[in-house]
Amino acid sequence: MEPHVKKEEAIMNFASKEAPVVRYRKVSKSFGDLTILREIDLDIAPGEKIAVIGPSGSGKTTMARLLMTLEEPSSGTIEVDGEHLWHKNVNGKLVRADEKHLHSIRGKIGMVFQHFNLFPHMSILRNVTEAPIHVLGLDKEEAIDRAITMLRKVGLADKLDHYPTQLSGGQKQRVAIARALVMRPKVMLFDEVTSALDPELVGEVLAVIREIAAEGEMAMLLITHEMDFARDVADRIIFTDGGRIVEQGTPEQIFYKPESPRLQTFLSRFR
């Protein structure tokens, strides 16, 4: 069998089990004259773990920001759980889903950024309970219960009363992960969550993400420069360059049998 045929099958096998939780169709994004994404097609199956690798400026963060509705596509569509984030009006102009739909769609997506963006004036516990109380409408006790469970999962159950300034970068990032998880999203986006950390703190954050990934329930889109991590955690690796998905496949295919010269060159920098 041709290698590329096998690759397509590996992807289809995962994706065909259930309807995708996220679906990008011909998504393009330009800022003025600068085209960042070119006709991206991507399905994320429920529970699927996808790592996105590629050079800086290849559009990885923009892909994630579009899914969070922090940016609007120049063309194309994105669906979460079958619901469109934008649709075309009668004049052919893209219009964002109304607030009610957006609210429900956003609740299905959790995102952790490079910078933790914790609320500095709130305790760790309150950082994690704010959204469940004010966005999901949970009562305080239930929100606290959920938050403690998540903080325990990321190894910070002993820091509930601390404030962000009292924590290390790795600990803050683990709070940010708990804060996203507490909303029980269907998809988690991790955008270079370790790149702002001191090297000795990277391991503890990756370990937490590995553990969550192993639980298997949530789909994950992991934008990362940590190749070993991507290889171990992901079901599928996507390589972006110049705003396109240039190659994709299982970790074995991407890391041990890369086909495109651009991917081969990119990977050679990590050896």
Phi then psi for residue 61, to 5 deg, are -65, -40
Calpha distance 181→213 (Å, rounded): 12
Q: Does 47 bind ligand ADP (CB under 6 A)?
A: no
Q: Does 70 bind ligand ADP (CB under 6 A)?
A: no
Q: Does 62 bind ligand ADP (CB under 6 A)?
A: yes
Using the minimum distance from each CB to ligand ADP, give the nearer residue, 27 or 138: 27
- Joined together, the tokens standing for residue 101 give 């739909």
Using the minimum distance from each CB to ligand ADP, give the nearer residue, 101 or 115: 115
| Count of beta carbons in the 10 Å neighbourhood of residue 41 | 11
- State in Å, rounded, how far the first CA of the chain is from the last one: 29
Q: Does 60 bind ligand ADP (CB under 6 A)?
A: yes
Which residue from 15, 21, 36, 206 is in contact with ligand ADP, where contact means CB under 6 A? 36
Q: Residue 31 CB, nearest distance to ligand ADP (Å)?
A: 3
Using the minimum distance from each CB to ligand ADP, give the nearer residue, 14 or 113: 113
Which residue from 12, 31, 135, 140 is in contact with ligand ADP, where contact means CB under 6 A? 31
Q: Residue 149 CB, nearest distance to ligand ADP (Å)?
A: 32
Which of 151, 108, 111 lies closest to 127 in space, CA to CA? 151
Q: Does 173 bind ligand ADP (CB under 6 A)?
A: no
Angle between helix 140-153 and 124-134 (nearest 10)? 130
- Contact assessment for residue 54 and residue 61, using Cβ atoms and an 8 Å cutoff: no
Calpha distance 172→167 (Å, rounded): 6
Q: Does 201 bind ligand ADP (CB under 6 A)?
A: no
Listed ranges 53-61, 86-94, 178-186, 201-209: which one lies at the site for ligand ADP (CB under 6 A): 53-61
Which of 115, 88, 84 lies closest to 194 in space, CA to CA? 115
Distances (CA, A) of 269 to 8, 54, 92, 193, 233: 26, 11, 44, 20, 21
Using the minimum distance from each CB to ligand ADP, give the nearer residue, 191 or 235: 191
Listed ranges 43-51, 54-62, 103-111, 163-171: which one lies at the site for ligand ADP (CB under 6 A): 54-62
55 Cβ neighbours under 8 A, 6+ residues apart: 241, 266
Q: Does 151 bind ligand ADP (CB under 6 A)?
A: no
Angle between helix 124-134 and 169-181 (nearest 10)? 20
Calpha distance 83→62 (Å, rounded): 20
Which residue from 44, 51, 61, 176 is in contact with ligand ADP, where contact means CB under 6 A? 61
Q: Residue 232 CB, nearest distance to ligand ADP (Å)?
A: 22
Q: Does 153 bind ligand ADP (CB under 6 A)?
A: no
Q: Does 224 bind ligand ADP (CB under 6 A)?
A: no
Q: Does 57 bind ligand ADP (CB under 6 A)?
A: yes
> Which stretches of the chain bind ligand ADP, using CB under 6 A?
31, 34, 36, 54, 56-62
